[in-house]
Amino acid sequence: MRTRRDGAVLTVTLDRPDRLNAQTPATWSALAEIGASLDDDVRVVVLTGEGRSFSAGLDRSMFDPASSTGGGFGELVGMPVEDAQERIRAYQAGFRWLRSPGIVSVAAVQGHAIGAGAQLALACDLRVFADDAQLRLPEVTLGLVPDLTGTSTLVELVGYSRALEMCLTGRAVGAAEAQAIGLASLVVPDAELEAAVADLVQALLAPPVAASRATAALVRSAVRNDFPTQDAAERAAQVRRLHDLVRGR
């Protein structure tokens, strides 16, 4: 995995193109470490995959029942239940930080985003799809469940019924459908993906940082707050902004 810092923008690139950027526990540990190391000057995180796919999901070595090392399923089954759940909680930490206060995360998705790859794209605030992109959550067809924060973010984006159908069938969602149902913020030809993401990043950086972060926090809280609670949050945030503007912040 590679990172590149350009001012307020951090780009994180999955760099196993020969394996279609298949993920392992080492991937999730590296992601969690990146999240833990963020400084306050980072405003936008761009997540990309090198090569022809964003991420084709779990590395096949994870499915080897004889494997007892490297965080595969064999190792998890051999643990006490509480320890196995704690291990998965650590894996989830590699995904959850992408919704951290203070940053906006953008996934640039081309080719396949399958299973863990789909959940990594879903973990971001925004997704830009190349027109060849397909997103799938096939865990149930393997006798498993999505466990890398994917269910909550999927329901948040597309609603209960559509999320249930996608998870229980494991079918592929193409780029056009993804945009229609709210999974993709934008769909562009594959050759234009990098430029489209760069344009979006510049638009995200344009507003004053304090106002941008306060607005993002309000939008995030609106997903779960009832109307009176969200109205109160808006009032409080606006008064803070007015005071800061008067003080020149």
75 has catalytic annotation: no
Identify how many contiguous H helices and E strands the chain contains and give both numbers: 10, 9
Pairwise CA distance, residues 114 & 151, whole Å: 14
Catalytic-labelled residue, pool 139, 156, 165, 177: 139
SS3 content of the chain, % helix, strand, coil (to 5): 55, 15, 30
In whole angstroms, what is the distance from residue 25 CA to residue 18 CA? Answer: 18
The candidate with the shortest Cα–Cα distance to 175, out of 136, 208, 148, is: 136
C-beta atoms surrounding 121 within 10 Å: 28
Name the β-bridge partners of 135. Answer: 113, 173
| Amino acid symbol at 33 | E
Residue 98 DSSP class: G
Q: Which residues are catalytic?
A: 139
